[in-house]
Copies of this chain bind each other. A is one copy, B any other.
Amino acid sequence: MSIPSYQNYVEQLVKIQDIRSSIALLQWDMEIYAPSKGASKRAQQIATLSATAHEWSTSEYLGNLLIELNEKVDQLTEDQRINVQKSWESYQKETKLPTAFVKELSRAQSDAFQAWIKAREANDFSVFKDSLRQIVHLLRKKTKLLGYQQHPYDALLNEYEQGATVDFLDRLFAKVKLALKQLIIVLNKEGEATDNAFLKKSFSKSKQWDFGLYLLKQMGFDFEAGRQDLSEHPFTTSFSANDVRVTTRIEKNNLLEMIGGCVHEGGHALYEMGLNPAQYGLPLGQAVSLGMHESQSRLWENHVGLSRAFWQANYSTLQASFPEQLGQVSLEQFYKAINQIAPNYLRTIADEVHYHLHVFIRYEIEKGLIEGTIEVDTLEQIWNEKYRQFLGLEVDSAKVGILQDVHWAEGLFGYFPTYSLGSFYAAQFYKQASLEIPDLETKIASGNLKPLLRWLRENIHQHGQRFSSEDLCRKVTGEGLNVDYFMDYLKEKYAQVYAFNSTLSNKY
């Protein structure tokens, strides 16, 4: 039996979650179905609900309940204690943001999203500038409201990845950047590339759609507890553990984009579906962090979806869907083709090596915008310059340049770094899973992904926010985040794909 104030606390958090889930639906619909003229009222509706959720999350009533529960901590079960403690931390943080500010930011985000859509249509960054300037202005204000110890950007980072700091990321990213650049140089110099032009043949959209659904089913995505739709930018959202939505983008001439997107978003969805539904709205029923979330999508996308074993199980089905395009392509050719690396303009379709260079560019720009060393006016030049510098590319179109991501339009600064953190965690987790699950590769090669999902459910999903990212990593793998697993994985894999005997390890 719970003590009464714990029940009241749960009731309050469930109500707040009901509002947040409704906001998630309003956004889901806005991104994929809503007619254009309805956008402004929709933005207002989201703003009203956001303000309400914020009001309730920062109410005196909730605050008093939490204080009371903190005093009665010895009457609480372990689970209850964790929920209350996490909620208390959030409460203290959220009460720093006035409701009017939250509403203003929500409104600005919705407006910016519409401006971003228009700017993309016009392929013109200037259409988006005013909205972005307003977002940056409000986020700078937000860092002041939230407070920070060393760098204002830390305050935003912590929204998505608690404990992450500029200081930590600067060092981590510098290390990886160097290693990646060396790997790329070596592969370019000594590697044996495989032709992958066939991946850009014409693939029927409806057959791609069907194959995407097949892959999600393979992974264990429960279609009675979720669905897939089409959208401009693939994403996953969740209204409860029993209603998880993924979206995908299908390009006729890019088979890999659909496959990668489906498996990636599927990985996110499995995390959400694996959360404890009895803890709906409570910290124990919520994902640890974005980095941890991304570790799940990346693990599936890269370690499973780009592995030879996975395609041993699924390639014949893919071939049967596209006999004309793939009938003459062997499994080995296909496996190598989907793992070819090359610099390109778009983050979302970047290979897993170059991917992080895209992230590091955004990280540096966001940091600069927030600390005030970069301004929106000159942002497009800075973007293009960094693409030249990091990836050797000349950007000549805003749509595949600075307008490619939705994140800034949605006010999501501090979000991009979690993509890289997720990849690094994924490598470490996958290594551990392959040590603990007997014959994991053989199982994957036979189409049996259940043991892996079970392992993830047990080791990660079910815990919700029971542990911090760092602690969870330590609990699961025996050590904190160690980027060597990621680099070892890349090295080993690309030595195979690019036909090395692998003395590569000495070169970085």
Whether A38 contacts B223 by the Cβ 8 Å rule is no
Interface residues on A, range: 35 or more
In the assembled complex, the Cα of A49 lies from the Cα of B29 at a distance in Å of: 18
- Whether A29 pairs with B29 at a CB distance below 8 angstroms is yes
A45 and B52 CA atoms in complex are apart in Å by: 14
Contact B18 A239 (CB under 8 A): no
Closest B residue, CB atoms, query A22? B22
Cα of A224 to Cα of B40 in the assembled complex, Å = 13
Q: Return the CB mask of A22-52 against B: 1 if under 8 Å, else 0.
A: 1001100100011111101110110011001
A225 within 8 A of B: yes
Q: Is A81 an interface residue (CB 8 A)?
A: no
**Cβ A49 vs Cβ B19 within 8 A:** yes
Is A205 in the interface zone, CB < 8 Å from B? no
Interface residues of A in 195-248 (CB under 8 A from B): 222-227, 229, 239-240, 242-243
A15 within 8 A of B: yes
Chain B residues with CB below 8 A from A15, complex form = 48
Whole-angstrom distance from the CB of A489 to the nearest CB of chain B? 34
Query: A197 vs B389: C-alpha distance in the bound complex, in angstroms?
Result: 71
Closest residue of chain B to A229, judged by CB? B33
**B227 A49 Cβ-Cβ under 8 A:** no
Per DSSP, chain A at the interface is helix
Query: In the assembly, what is the distance between CA of A224 and CA of B35, in Å?
Result: 5
| A315 beta carbon closer than 8 Å to chain B | no
Question: CB-CB contacts of A44-78 with B at 8 A, as 1s and 0s?
Answer: 11001100100000000000000000000000000
- Please name all residues of chain B whose beta carbon is closer than 8 Å to the beta carbon of A224 when the two chains form the complex: 35-37
User: A280 within 8 Å of B by Cβ?
Assistant: yes
Residues on A lying within 8 angstroms of B by beta carbon are: 14-15, 18-19, 21-22, 25-26, 29, 33-38, 40-42, 44-45, 48-49, 52, 222-227, 229, 239-240, 242-243, 277, 280
24 pairs across A/B with beta carbons < 8 Å? A14-B48, A15-B48, A18-B44, A18-B45, A19-B48, A19-B52, A21-B41, A22-B25, A29-B29, A34-B227, A35-B223, A35-B224, A35-B226, A35-B227, A36-B224, A38-B239, A38-B240, A41-B239, A41-B277, A41-B280, A42-B239, A42-B240, A45-B239, A52-B52
